[in-house]
Chains A and B, each alone.
Chain A
Amino acid sequence: AQKITQTQPGMFVQEKEAVTLDCTYDTSDQSYGLFWYKQPSSGEMIFLIYQGSYDEQNATEGRYSLNFQKARKSANLVISASQLGDSAMYFCAMREGYSSASKIIFGSGTRLSIRP
């Protein structure tokens, strides 16, 4: 069974600093996808970044990058130059297989707070 682990319930970071949010996963599948979502207090789920298991390069999207270490089964999110608006819950998630019909399972989340 697939499993996603986020070991940091909460983090405080000074504005403009970089921050790494940890995520490890467990799966027996060779084909899978990893996602990061941001959930502000409004509740909406905002897609940030995606990494496929066969992607050789780490995914990047603006200030977000995914540090994918396949052998260690980790998919940490790195946010560079943090901003006050980055304060939110962050969820790591995984989909086994590449089908749009495959379910996505979420980790427990990390609450990130940015200090001015």
Chain B
Amino acid sequence: GAVVSQHPSRVICKSGTSVKIECRSLDFQATTMFWYRQFPKQSLMLMATSNEGSKATYEQGVEKDKFLINHASLTLSTLTVTSAHPEDSSFYICSASPSGGRTDTQYFGPGTRLTVL
């Protein structure tokens, strides 16, 4: 099956620093990728839809200036948490569907656990 990778898998940073998380589709192209955040014992909350070559679409309540998304190619989307604070500590997961392909599947990355001290 299709594979989506995320890097890093785990990151610890100091408050006020920025952290970049990469999401790659390894064996397929994805015009659209999605970024989710999951707090402990909660569900996945969609943060934004990442569109290759254009601006991301953010969900209501998500600060676009804080969570910068860049979808520079058909296989790579990045999420940068700027000026991170302890309340940004969470599990961040990306997902993607093959462009122009089946829509009955959605492949998820393994997630990135962010801890802000």
Quick check: is B77 within 8 A (CB to CB) of the other chain? no
Query: Is B104 engaged at the interface, CB distance under 8 Å to the other chain?
Result: yes
Would you call B67 an interface residue if the criterion is a C-beta within 8 Å of the partner chain's C-beta atoms? Answer: no
Contact A33 B104, beta carbon cutoff 8 Å:
yes
State the majority secondary structure of interface residues on B: loop
Number of A-B residue pairs with CB-CB distance less than 8 Å in the complex they form: 65
Query: In this complex, what residue of A is CB-closest to B44?
Result: A106
Q: Which residue of B lies closest to A42 (CB)?
A: B110
Contact between chains at A44 and B110 (CB < 8 Å): yes
A108 touches B95 (CB 8 A): no
Q: Do A45 and B95 have beta carbons less than 8 Å apart?
A: yes
A100 touches B99 (CB 8 A): yes
Asked whether, in the complex, the Cβ of B31 is within 8 Å of the Cβ of A101, the reply is yes
Name the residue on B nearest A98 (C-beta). Answer: B103
Bound-state Cα–Cα, A98 to B105, Å: 11
Interface membership of A43, Cβ < 8 A? yes
Count residues on chain B whose CB falls below 8 Å from chain A CBs: 30
Flag B25-44 by CB within 8 Å of A: 1 or 0 each. Answer: 00000111010100000111
Within 8 A of B (CB), among A85-116: 91, 95, 98-109
Please encode chain B, from 71 to 88, with 1 for each CB lying within 8 Å of some chain A CB and 0 for all others: 000000000000000000
Contact B46 A43 (CB under 8 A): no
Which residues of chain B are near A98, meaning CB under 8 Å?
103
Can you list 20 pairs linking A and B with CB atoms under 8 Å apart?
Answer: A43-B111, A44-B111, A47-B107, A47-B108, A50-B105, A52-B104, A91-B43, A91-B44, A98-B103, A99-B103, A100-B32, A100-B97, A100-B99, A101-B32, A104-B34, A104-B46, A104-B95, A104-B106, A106-B36, A107-B43
Residues of chain A whose beta carbon lies under 8 Å from any beta carbon of chain B: 33, 35, 37, 42-45, 47, 50, 52, 91, 95, 98-109
